[in-house]
Structure 1
Amino acid sequence: MIYETTLITGCAGDIALALARIARDAGAVHRLIGCDIHADHAGPAFFDVCELVPRANDVAYLETLDRIVKTYRVDVIVPMSEAEITVLLAGGHLGAFAGVPVLTANRLAVETGLDKYATFNRLAAHKLGVPWTCIVGEAQPLALPCILKRRRGQGGKDLRLINTDEEVEIATRTRPGDLWQELLLPEDQEYTCGLYRSRTGETRTIVLRRRLQGGLTGAAVVVDSAPFSPLLHGIADALDLNGSINVQLRLTANGPKVFEINPRFSSTVGFRHRLGFHDFIWSLLDSRELAIGAYRAPSPGIRMYRCADEVIIG
């Protein structure tokens, strides 16, 4: 056991449920506390207790979180949503909250990943592969078709393909501050990459070629990470990484280009754990300054699929 009582936020979501399963199977924690903004979800089948919290942008959010930590004597917090991580970052609570550790990547990685324009600027400054990116209302797209996406928040939400000058004009009026971004092709060359670096500087990677299904990775296959290794290690260096992040990229005719970094555990965390990439457990161990053990990368060609599951609570 690594921690006595762990609080995982967003316990109605797929990532939190995956982490709860991982923690149980690994015997990493004794008691699991979850919290979310509603109570109609499968969380009680995976957590010992599920609490209600306001939305992260509510002034009562941190106060409620503090109450939960004290009531259940929580000794580590694992925030799931980017909205919650943003609030914790703004309040100076990224490393610790209410006297207990908050399990995230380091501040620079989080700040960069939460802002997709900052991601572009930092990686470009380190001469790492990125698509051209500019701010709606400050510049016109460099070419059409292109992608229109949010500057902050989950990249899949409100993402649109822009094909015409008329669509550019409408988006300029209605979505100032968002981003124009190069359309990366081919579409079937999209990869999601687990990137972990320990406090001692050891870097571990896993690369999955993925197929999206409803905004999530519905199917994936392990690929050889060697061709992507210089890029991923370069990102870890550019972010002074400590912890786990998820890098999304497409392999283009001009090499791999990163279009997004998720500064949190990924929706593929369950896939990756079963393949031996135990970034959640490594992060828990590393936060205790415990040895994280060896890592053997999975063999290329292994396939995985996301399947529906039924949970009965009665």
Structure 2
Amino acid sequence: MSEKIRVLVTALGGTSHGQQILKALRHGELDYHIVGSDMTSRSSGRAISDEFVTLPPAGAPDYLESLERVIEAHGIQAVFHGCEQEMTVFSQNRERLEKNGVFFPVNPPRVLDICQNKARTNALLMEKGFEPPRYVSITSVDDTEQVDFLPAVLKPSSGGGGSAHVYIAQDQRELEFLAEYLLGFCPEVLAQEYMGTAEEEYTVGVLFGRDGELLNSIGVRRLVEGAISTRFRVPNRTGRADLGPQLTISSGISQGEVGKWPEVTQVCESIASVLGAEAPVNVQCRVVDGAVKVFEINPRFSGTTSLRAMAGYNEPEVLIRREVLGEEVTPGFSYREGTILRSLVEHWIAD
């Protein structure tokens, strides 16, 4: 193409999925002019954007107007959200935002309503016969009496991200303590059965077009070791050898073996299709005795988006080709398989 495709990627601070999208575009074959944004100029995203702008928080009264001004001023053709707050705003205002032909890859509110509440997610999975780990919704410490499975993973039912505020209770005392702690800042806590081992944990991306057509899926069998990919690890005191010597929660920074993993990805495709997705969906699961046990669904691009792009599974570019350029994308397109490891990268940001 003679002209660059002009893309806006938001929320480029920290280890956001916005940075993953931007890195994936840099791995692409098309020529892009990427405008990055964040709430502050002290953002590492400045170092990897062609231009950088600041936007107010997604909840600010002037957010949409500010966003629209940036889109118009820079001739933006596609906007990728880099945080869940902006994802929600984009989804709720998609018709307004896309009225001038700008593409916003985001799932509809009905999908977000389910996936952004972990209790609703588990209820849907059970209703549709996918057999997730057992769970109990906790709104008071007294509700812990209903938990008849240990160890249990406790986490806020809504919000979170990057495995924030996720803990393991191995006995009733820990269960009550952690429930009381989490209820101190969130109204509902999900207690979910801890199952399997970290060696059989997967993060699976399922890609849909704007029209809801299933385009492809990819899996990363997580390598959960070292500080970068481990949220925390505790000795297993339950006496259950099937859970391994240690109980582990992975971090939001995944690495590992990238591949098709059909026994896992096909189940995740079915789940995402039941949701009615119209954009990327990321499914977190473990395989236990041959069964896929889904414990979380994120209705967005993943923290492994750039890893997938390195394998030739470039979700942002596929969607730009299909939805912006009008190119034909063959469902089930091929990509490479292999192992990808991560490390920290530093950027000099001049004031």
Counterpart Cα distance in 1 of 2:203 and 2:171: 30
Q: What is the SS of the residue equivalent to 1:26? A: coil
CA drift at 1:309: 2.5
> Please, which moves more after superposition, 93-102 or 63-72?
93-102
Equivalent residue letter for 1:225:
W
Other-structure match for 2:38: 36
Q: TM-score scaled to structure 1, two decimals?
A: 0.87
TM-aligned CA distance change 1:102 to 1:13, over 3 Å: farther
- CA shift digits 1:155-182 (9 cap, x unpaired): 4111111233233334444414121111
Unaligned runs of 5+ in 1: none
CA drift at 1:131: 1.1
TM-aligned CA distance change 1:40 to 1:292, over 3 Å: same
Other-structure match for 2:107: 105
Find the partner of 1:249 among 274, 285, 291.
285
Q: What is the SS of the residue equivalent to 1:248? A: strand
Find the partner of 1:292 among 317, 323, 329.
329
Counterpart Cα distance in 1 of 2:27 and 2:259: 26
TM-aligned CA distance change 1:167 to 1:60, over 3 Å: farther
Counterpart Cα distance in 1 of 2:98 and 2:263: 43
Aligned residue runs from structure 1 range 41-52, under 5 A: 41-52=43-54
Q: What is the SS of the residue equivalent to 1:180? A: strand
Equivalent residue letter for 1:298:
R
* Superposed CA RMSD: 2.6
CA drift at 1:79: 0.7
Equivalent residue letter for 1:158:
H
Other-structure match for 2:221: 209
Paired residue total: 310
1:266 counterpart = 2:273: no
Other-structure match for 2:122: 120
- CA shift digits 1:275-314 (9 cap, x unpaired): 1212111122232342125611434xx2110122233455
Counterpart Cα distance in 2 of 1:65 and 1:287: 21
Q: TM-score scaled to structure 2, two decimals?
A: 0.79
Contact 2:220/2:259 (CA < 8 Å) preserved in 1? yes
Other-structure match for 1:187: 198
Q: What is the SS of the residue equivalent to 1:194? A: strand
Contact 1:191/1:209 (CA < 8 Å) preserved in 2? yes
CA drift at 1:253: 2.4
1:177 counterpart = 2:178: no
Other-structure match for 2:89: 87
Other-structure match for 1:225: 261
Contact 2:154/2:191 (CA < 8 Å) preserved in 1? yes
> Please, which moves more after superposition, 57-66 or 254-263?
57-66
Equivalent residue letter for 2:164:
K
1:166 counterpart = 2:173: yes
Counterpart Cα distance in 1 of 2:136 and 2:62: 35
Other-structure match for 1:70: 72
Contact 2:21/2:80 (CA < 8 Å) preserved in 1? no
Contact 1:11/1:50 (CA < 8 Å) preserved in 2? no
Other-structure match for 2:236: none
Unaligned runs of 5+ in 2: 231-250
Counterpart Cα distance in 2 of 1:290 and 1:95: 23
Equivalent residue letter for 1:73:
G
> Please, which moves more after superposition, 22-31 or 246-255?
22-31
Equivalent residue letter for 1:194:
G
> Please, which moves more after superposition, 167-176 or 150-159?
167-176
1:152 counterpart = 2:164: no
Counterpart Cα distance in 1 of 2:212 and 2:55: 36
Counterpart Cα distance in 2 of 1:254 and 1:124: 18
TM-aligned CA distance change 1:247 to 1:7, over 3 Å: same
> Please, which moves more after superposition, 40-49 or 14-23?
14-23
TM-aligned CA distance change 1:167 to 1:57, over 3 Å: farther
> Please, which moves more after superposition, 50-59 or 246-255?
50-59
TM-aligned CA distance change 1:149 to 1:95, over 3 Å: farther
TM-aligned CA distance change 1:305 to 1:11, over 3 Å: same
